[in-house]
């Protein structure tokens, strides 16, 4: 039997939980998507704010290597770097789909990394998609990506506060102490030069993850079906590839399936000879990024002149 005090507790508990969720969810949403946040957080702009003609997709190597200013000056088109550190092809596809729900860009650049097609712990990959939670209700593409984390996400996302899980500090920072370290999504590494000798790549023991590979192919297919000029790049790194490139099979596959050439800068001598262009073996510093972005813009310019 329920006594009056306990009925009141249960009733008020349900009411307070719902009220907290609705009110705080609204507060978080309005602060997360505030004008200040949109300006300062490249992630928010990438998902809901872009209208640029060129978009750069990829992980940290995209974020640090592609300077939109150089691409814009050279091609006369607006550009935004929608890359995000540590992310992989599931994330890139979600951003592409969210973009296509609003408009169709002219050119897409995809910086390909091994994490975009090789086997890694599944949980590790899907956990990172959590950064897209605030956009779960905004975009079908994002929703599809979030559901890769598990079917329980459908239930969890019934809560409007859950969309902003662990983002309280980010919301506070974006609105109170905005920290802007990017230029249209590009984050230059200004203060570091790699001084060590060139390292050797590990042997090619890449195991292809079929789910990731299919997602990569889906990314390419969507671009082709929407007539987006897609350019896939593998930007330079300061590592000698001895036992063969880890990318060789995927490059062949992309060429075979889609007739698309991958621009592979793994063994580009300008970069392999100059450690000062790197911040670490995997990332160019701002000096290297400028040089590399200039090369990329030349390639893009050529292809714009001679459309397929």
Partner 1 sequence: MNWKPVYAILMFLSTFVTWLCGILVDNSESNLRRKVFLIISLVINFGILFLYKYYDFLNNSVYEALEFFDIRWPVPNLDLLLPVGISFYTFQAVGYTIDVYRKELKAEKHLGIYALFVSFFPQLVAGPIERASNLLPQFKREHFLESDRLVSGIKQMIWGFFMKVVIADRLALFVNAVYSNVNEHNGSTILIATFLFAFQIYCDFAGYSNIAIGSARIMGFDLMTNFNRPYFSVNISEFWHRWHISLSTWFRDYVYIPLGGNRVSERRGYFNIFLTFVISGIWHGANWTFFIWGSLHGLYNIIQKYFRMDKIQFSGFSGQKALFILVNFTLVLLAWVFFRANTTGDAFMVLSKIFTSHGIPFVGSITTFVYGIFGLIILFFREISEEFFPPKLNIFESENPVVSALLNAALIFLIIAIGVFDGGQFIYFQF
Q: Of residues 38, 100, 147, 168, which one binds partner 1 by CB under 8 A?
A: 168
CA neighbor of 66 nearest in space, from 241, 272, 236? 236
Q: Of residues 16, 36, 190, 196, which one binds partner 1 by CB under 8 A?
A: 16
207-266: which residues touch partner 1 (CB under 8 A)? none
Residue 111: which region, alpha, beta or left (left: phi > 0; alpha: psi -120 to 50)? beta
Size of the site for partner 1 (CB under 8 A): 33
Paired tokens of 230: 């897609």
Paired tokens of 45: 């702009």
Please return the burial class of 254, using the count of CB atoms within 10 Å of its CB with bins 0-12, 13-18 and 19+.
buried
Q: Of residues 117, 164, 247, 271, which one binds partner 1 by CB under 8 A?
A: 164
8 binds partner 1 (CB under 8 A): yes
17 binds partner 1 (CB under 8 A): yes
196 binds partner 1 (CB under 8 A): no
Residue 196 beta carbon to partner 1: minimum distance, rounded to whole angstroms: 17
Instruction: Name the strand (E) or helix (H) holding 305.
Output: helix 286-305
123 binds partner 1 (CB under 8 A): yes
Which residue, 88 or 206, is less far from partner 1 as judged by CB? 88
DSSP-H helix ranges across 53-193? 60-65, 68-75, 89-100, 122-127, 140-146, 152-156, 168-176
Q: Of residues 13, 22, 26, 155, which one binds partner 1 by CB under 8 A?
A: 13
Is 161 in contact with 20 (CB distance < 8 Å)? yes
Q: Of residues 56, 82, 109, 161, which one binds partner 1 by CB under 8 A?
A: 161
Residue 54 φ/ψ, nearest 5 degrees = -115, 130
Residues that bind partner 1 (CB under 8 A): 1-3, 5-13, 15-17, 19-21, 24, 123, 127, 130, 149, 156, 159, 161-162, 164-166, 168-170
């Amino acid at each position: 039997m329920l006594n009056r005090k306990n009925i009141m507790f249960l009733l008020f508990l349900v009411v307070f939980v719902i009220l907290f969720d609705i009110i705080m969810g609204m507060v978080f949403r309005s602060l997360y998507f505030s004008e200040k946040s949109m300006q300062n957080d490249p992630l928010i702009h990438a998902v809901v704010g872009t209208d640029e003609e060129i978009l750069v997709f990829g992980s940290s190597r995209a974020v640090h290597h592609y300077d939109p200013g150089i691409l814009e000056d050279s091609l006369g088109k607006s550009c935004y770097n929608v890359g995000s550190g540590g992310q992989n092809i599931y994330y890139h596809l979600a951003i592409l789909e969210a973009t296509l729900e609003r408009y169709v860009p002219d050119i897409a650049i995809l910086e390909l990394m091994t994490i975009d097609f090789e086997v890694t712990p599944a949980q590790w990959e899907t956990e990172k998609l959590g950064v897209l939670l605030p956009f779960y209700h905004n975009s079908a593409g994002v929703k599809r990506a979030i559901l890769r984390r598990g079917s329980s996400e459908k239930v969890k996302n019934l809560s409007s506060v859950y969309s902003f899980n662990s983002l309280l500090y980010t919301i506070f920072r974006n609105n109170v102490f905005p920290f802007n370290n990017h230029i249209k999504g590009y984050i230059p590494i200004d203060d570091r030069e790699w001084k060590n000798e060139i390292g050797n790549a590990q042997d090619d023991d890449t195991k292809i993850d079929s789910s990731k590979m299919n997602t990569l192919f889906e990314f390419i297919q969507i671009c082709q079906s929407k007539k987006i000029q897609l350019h896939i790049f593998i930007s330079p790194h300061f590592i000698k590839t001895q036992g063969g490139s880890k990318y060789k099979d995927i490059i062949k596959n992309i060429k075979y399936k889609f007739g698309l050439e991958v621009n592979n800068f793994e063994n580009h001598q300008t970069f392999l000879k100059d450690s000062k262009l790197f911040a670490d073996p995997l990332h160019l510093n701002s000096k290297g990024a400028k040089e590399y972005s200039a090369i990329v813009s030349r390639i893009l310019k050529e292809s714009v002149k001679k459309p397929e």
